[in-house]
């Protein structure tokens, strides 16, 4: 009888912990995150160029896709619960020698996104995304140093 009560207490604590971790959402069920990337490249100099996107994390290579203006690439995954945080990063390349890397999903930054949908528009200046739940505000990041076009390995 005593062991049953101990087991019930453990289960209750696990349920409470699950509620706390998920912020009151469904207990014990992880939500899939969707990352959407849209080509919004446009300027008087380059017109509407195609955008090459190559995303991956440390275990999954999502292969390269090419997007025309306003086209979308999306992928879904379950973020890590224990251990290391989930990180997806992408290389964005378009004509004119432009090639940049950006961390498109950082669990600490994007864990809740906007109802688990991280929406990113890729512009010449950098990626802009709605990454905060319930927010209509956009977070924009400027491109860092351009990557070399050759000998590129997509590693974190």
Summarize pLDDT for 42-64 with one digit per residue, the tens. 977 778 999 999 999 999 999 99
Q: Is the Cβ–Cβ distance between 51 and 67 less than 8 Å?
A: yes
- What average pLDDT does the segment 68-78 reach? 96
CATH of the domain at 100: 2.60.40.10
DSSP character string of 51-116: EEEEEE-SS-EEEEEEE-TT-EEEEEEPPPSSSSPPEEEEEEEETTTEEEEEEEEEHHHHSSTTTS
State the burial class of residue 57 (Cβ atoms within 10 Å of its Cβ: 0-12, 13-18, 19+): middle
Q: Do 41 and 4 belong to one domain?
A: no
| Residue 6 CB coordination number (10 Å) | 10
150 assigned to some structural domain = no
- pTM comes to 0.73
Please tell me the total count of domains within the chain: 2
Kind and range of the H or E run holding 153: none
- With respect to residue 68, please indicate whether it lies within any of the assigned structural domains: yes
Give yes or no: residues 48 and 82 share one domain: yes
| Residue 123 belongs to a domain | yes
Is 136 contained in some domain? yes
Condensed to tens digits (0 to 9), the pLDDT of residues 74-120 reads: 999 999 887 778 999 999 999 988 999 999 999 988 877 878 899 99
In a domain, 147, yes or no: no
Domain that holds residue 47: 33-140
- Other C-beta atoms within 10 Å of 94: how many? 20
Q: Does residue 25 belong to any structural domain of this protein?
A: yes
């Amino acid at each position: 009888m005593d062991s049953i009560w101990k087991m019930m207490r453990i289960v209750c604590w696990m349920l409470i912990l699950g509620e706390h971790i998920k912020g009151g959402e469904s207990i014990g069920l992880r939500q899939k995150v969707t990352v959407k990337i849209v080509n919004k490249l446009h300027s008087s100099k380059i017109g509407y160029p195609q955008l090459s996107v190559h995303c991956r994390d440390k275990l999954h290579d999502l292969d390269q896709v090419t997007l025309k203006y306003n086209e979308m690439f999306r992928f879904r995954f379950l973020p890590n619960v224990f251990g290391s945080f989930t990180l997806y990063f992408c290389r964005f390349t378009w004509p004119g020698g432009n090639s940049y890397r950006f961390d498109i999903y950082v669990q600490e930054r994007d864990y809740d996104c906007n109802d688990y949908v991280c929406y990113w528009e890729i512009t010449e200046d950098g990626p802009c995304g709605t990454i905060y739940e319930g927010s209509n505000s956009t977070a924009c990041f400027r491109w860092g140093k351009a990557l070399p076009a050759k000998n590129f390995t997509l590693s974190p």
